[in-house]
């Protein structure tokens, strides 16, 4: 049977995954991650302080926060920078909050100590799945940054309790597909972004019908497809870190 997908992939096939370390030398940890033609720089920077609201409210431990942006040349039509509009794009706010939630779900903030871990995700090229690529790459950048704290003996234990990765799934032409590219995403009847830890625990399931509805069975099928995809992403994350960490 010919593939129904524009790029010829199987329905359950991820796009080629690429990971390049230390793309931003001044960050505490960084990667350039590629989900097919989607390419995102994920950088983690450690500050030896916590937000003022934590001190004011007597909250102990550290903090992690994320920022996300699409560079003007990341899409076919130039995307205006948020700073020129005078406010953050609503989509960017949603995504950076998702990235932050996803990383904090696998981070013991008490073990982080009085440090803030900044996660910056900048999209170089967008072809669908920028938020899922950002989460998957952000975990790697965070793990590399945390190793700096461990090596410098500024913390005694790794505060990351698990890995985390994310992938998109959807219904396109009536078929359940994994890791949608832009052409599939824009015409999908249903699309979902699913965040799962390395141990298989769900962090977030974002799913919506695009002028369509979907059944319970279809939702279960999409979740199963995402689980398969995240297992493969987790294996790649583990292999990548095994080459770079003691």
**Other C-beta atoms within 10 Å of 136: how many?**
29
pLDDT at 52 over 70: yes
**Other C-beta atoms within 10 Å of 64: how many?**
21
**What is the tens place of the pLDDT at every residue in 102-124?**
999 999 999 999 999 999 999 99
Contact of 133 with 127, CB cutoff 8 Å: no
**Can you list the domains of the chain with their CATH numbers?**
17-242 (3.30.230.70)
Mean pLDDT of 64-78: 88
Cα angle 239, 241, 243; round to 5: 75
pLDDT at 87 over 80: no
Its pTM stands at 0.94
Q: Write down the residue that tokens 């996660």 correspond to.
A: 119
The residue that leads in pLDDT, 199 or 172, is 199
Mean pLDDT (the chain, rounded): 94
pLDDT at residue 3 in the model: 62
**What is the tens place of the pLDDT at every residue in 130-166?**
999 999 999 999 999 999 999 999 999 999 999 999 9
Contact of 204 with 195, CB cutoff 8 Å: yes
Is the sign of the CA dihedral 218, 132, 203, 227 positive or negative?
positive
pLDDT at 223 over 90: yes
Contact of 18 with 124, CB cutoff 8 Å: no
**Local structure of residue 210 (DSSP, 8 states):** S
pLDDT at 88 over 80: no
- Give percent of the chain with pLDDT exceeding 70: 97
């Amino acid at each position: 049977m010919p593939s129904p997908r524009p790029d010829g992939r199987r329905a359950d096939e991820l796009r080629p995954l690429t990971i390049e370390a230390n793309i931003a030398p001044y960050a505490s940890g960084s990667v350039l991650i590629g989900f097919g033609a989607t390419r995102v720089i994920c950088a983690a920077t450690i500050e030896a302080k916590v937000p003022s609201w934590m001190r004011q409210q007597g909250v102990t431990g550290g903090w992690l926060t994320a920022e996300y942006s699409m560079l003007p040349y990341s899409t076919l039509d130039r995307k205006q920078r948020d700073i020129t509009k005078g406010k953050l794009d609503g989509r960017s706010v949603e995504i950076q909050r998702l990235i932050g939630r996803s990383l904090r779900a696998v981070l013991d903030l008490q073990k982080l100590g009085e440090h803030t871990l900044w996660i910056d995700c900048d999209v170089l090229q967008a072809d669908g799945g920028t938020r899922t690529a950002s989460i998957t790459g952000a975990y790697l950048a965070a793990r590399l940054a945390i190793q700096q704290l461990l090596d410098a003996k500024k913390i005694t234990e790794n505060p990351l309790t698990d890995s985390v990765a994310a992938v998109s799934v959807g219904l396109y032409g009536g078929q359940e597909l994994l890791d949608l590219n832009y052409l599939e995403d824009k015409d999908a009847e249903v699309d979902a972004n699913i965040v799962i830890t390395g141990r298989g625990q769900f962090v977030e399931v974002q799913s919506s019908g695009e002028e369509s509805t979907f059944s319970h069975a279809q939702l279960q099928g999409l979740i199963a497809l995402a689980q398969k995809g995240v297992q493969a992403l987790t294996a790649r994350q583990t292999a990548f870190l095994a080459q770079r960490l003691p």
